[in-house]
Structure 1
Amino acid sequence: MILPDRAAPVLVADRFPDERVALLGMLRSLSPAEWSASTVCAGWSVKDVALHLLAGDLGKLARGRDGFAAPPGTVPLPSPTDFASLVKFLDALNARRVRELRWLSTPVLVDLLAATGPALHAYLAGLDPFEPGERVSWAGEAPAPNWLDVAREFTERWVHQQQIREAVGRTGPVEPHLLHPVLATFARALPRALRDADAVAGSAVLLHVTGPAGGQWYAVREQAAWVLHEHPPSPPAATVVLDQDTAWRRFTNGIDADAARERATLTGDAALADQVLQAVAIIG
């Protein structure tokens, strides 16, 4: 069964070229000192984050487009079955991949990102958005439709570009056509965040993100689980209002729940509202 979702799908395959153009333009402008600058990713420099993006492109193309399974012994840990183990597994795998790519020069790294970007876009744009795709673990246990897997890939690249930009004092890209789909994708973390919340069937929780890229998303308690909806069947039992900058940072653990709470407006059921602030849309 595909992960249930009753809100509008986030179709972003056509946004990848714009994101990559912005990334490459910024990377080509960096000085050697800026390439070495520390980022919010613990222990990673700007170059390391860019290497992580390259590894992500290569992995998605090899695994998804080419159907290639890594030979035995090339993955450092066995495939985990629980979320905590998955976090540990992916953290170790990502760190290993970055270490193994550090010998690349920054011009070669940029050239490779310029080559993998169009290849990745062509692959993702050719997928049927509504066929089952890879599981998006922070959204739920069931397989996700391709559109959510593709949207997750887009958020990864957008967020890491923001982390690089902040490390070197560069702005952008926060235009609504790029940031809104990021926020709409992150909203898919709400049902999992609310999974243990005590609420009767039909209860709704509203996340309202303000700003040009913002929007409104409702998590509704159905008989078996919480499900994201475009419109609730009843007035929300709790509402959380965040500005768009706070929202994406909270969903990616850039700020903690306490910091987000200080910037948020919470109304209604306090316990349900607090669960919304626990939602994260990354692993690690």
Structure 2
Amino acid sequence: MHQPQPILMVDRFAPMLDALLGLLSELAPAEWEAPTACRPWSVKELASHLLGGDIGILSRGRDGYATPGGAITDWLSLVALVNDLNERWVGATKRISPQLMCELLRFAGTHVCDYFRSLDPYALGGPVSWAGTEPAPVWFDLAREYTERWHHQQQIRDAVGRPGLMQPHFFAPVLDTFVRALPHTYRAVEAPEGTCITLTLTGDAGGTWSVQHEQGAWHLYVGVPGGPDAAVVLPQDVAWRLFTKGIGAAEAAGAAMMSGNQELGMKALEMVSVIA
């Protein structure tokens, strides 16, 4: 086993944006109104959510412009604030036409790509909340932003029956980012020193990761020890839906293979790698 490496994929934001705009440009009017797994949003509303994210990044991050918001005291208050901001934005943009939505996505998305390229990936930034409360390097926040764009675009593709961006070039960084939530998922689990749980995501974009209990904390590694205390195997297409709350743990368990300590293994199916 070895420690995971930084996820450096700023070069993939522009191709991801091009893929989204190409997809949206092909949609018939009825497809824009198709329901998505990101309930209760339609395809158009989910596209609006992506636009809102880009505008927020440019305003807050690039321009340093902040508006007063609600107090964040814990995880639940953060989720409530994010949900409120998202709903108000999507509601306010209902009058935007699909054509204008695409034009705005191209404009904002291009500037976001430029902004992301300007950042030092190794500088210290804010926390990635679903992975912990400590400040995280900028590359981790960029990886989180990448997963947001990938999984929402995938939800749109699923809704309109289009092939997904499942090539390892696009998909592998998503899974690698999602599993960084494993130590946080196990943070309240008490176990003897050296206890290890292995998670394998099968498929050409997948891999194997382990969390090991060392000196009172859980640490993430790439690979598998000689004999883990619990091992979980999930298909990659099930894994991303589970980690983004598209399906629940019970449904994922039906597609999983487990060995060793079942209680420890089932905890991995509680992992969530999104805020809301």
Q: Please classify the TM superposition score into its range, dividing by the shorter chain length.
A: over 0.9
TM-score by length of 2: 0.95
* Alignment-derived partner of residue 39 in structure 1: 36
- Give the CA deviation at 1:82: 0.9
Question: Where in structure 2 are the equivalents of 1:17-56 lying within 5 Å?
Answer: 17-56=14-53
- Which of 110, 115, 119 lines up with 1:118 in the alignment? 110
Aligned counterpart in structure 2 of residue 196 of structure 1, from 183, 188, 194: 188
CA distance in 2, matches of 1:81, 1:225: 24
Which digits, 9 at most, give the CA deviation of each residue in 1:174-227, with x for residues without a partner?
A: 110111000000001111111111212222211111111111111122224212
**Which secondary structure state, in structure 2, belongs to the residue aligned with residue 141 of structure 1?**
coil
Question: 1:98 aligned to 2:98?
Answer: no
Extract structure 1 runs of 4+ deviating beyond 3 A.
231-235
Q: Any gaps of 5 or more consecutive residues in structure 2?
A: none
Quote the residue 1:147 is aligned against: 139
Instruction: Please give the secondary structure, in 1, of the residue aligned with 2:191.
Output: coil
Q: Deviations over 1:241-270 (max 9, x none)?
A: 111101101101111101111101111111
CA shift at 1:167, angstroms?
1.1
Which of 259, 262, 270 pairs up with 2:262?
Answer: 270
- Asked if the contact 1:138–1:189 (Cα under 8 Å) also holds between the matched residues in 2, the reply is yes
> Which residue identity does 1:217 align to in structure 2?
W
Asked whether the equivalents of residues 196 and 212 of structure 2 are also in contact (C-alpha less than 8 Å), the reply is: yes
Which residue matches 2:152? 160
- Does the C-alpha gap of structure 1 residues 125 and 202 become closer, same or farther in structure 2, counting only changes over 3 Å? farther
AA of the residue aligned to 1:92? D
C-alpha separation between the residues in 2 aligned to 1:233 and 1:42? 39
Alignment-mate amino acid for residue 67 of structure 1: G
Q: What secondary structure is seen at the aligned counterpart in 2 of 1:277? A: helix
Which residue, 1, 11, 20 being the options, matches 2:8?
A: 11
1:235 aligns with 2:232: no
Under a length normalisation based on structure 1, what TM-score does the superposition of the two structures give?
0.93
Question: CA separation of 1:206/1:106 partners in 2, compared to 1, >3 Å: closer, same or farther?
Answer: same
- The letter for the 2-side match of 1:12 is M
Q: 1:173 aligns with which of 149, 152, 165?
A: 165
Equivalent residue pairs, number: 275
Alignment match of 2:79 (pick from 76, 87, 91): 87
SS where residue 108 of structure 2 aligns?
helix
Q: Any residues of structure 2 matched to 1:236-255 within 5 Å, and which?
A: 236-255=228-247
Give ranges in structure 1 of 5+ residues lacking alignment: none
Counterpart residue number, 2:100: 108
Kindly indicate whether the alpha-carbon contact (under 8 Å) linking 1:251 and 1:281 is maintained by their aligned counterparts in 2: yes
The aligned amino acid for 2:38 is C
Q: What is the aligned-residue identity percentage?
A: 48
Cα gap change, 1:233/1:43 in structure 2, threshold over 3 Å: closer, same or farther? Answer: closer
1:167 corresponds to which letter in structure 2? A
Q: Give 1:232 deviation, angstroms.
A: 5.9
Q: CA RMSD in A?
A: 1.5
Deviation string, structure 1 residues 66-94 (Cα, Å, up to 9, x no partner): 11111x4xx4xx13121122111111111
CA contact 1:202–1:233 (8 Å) conserved in 2: no
Q: CA deviation at 1:135?
A: 1.5
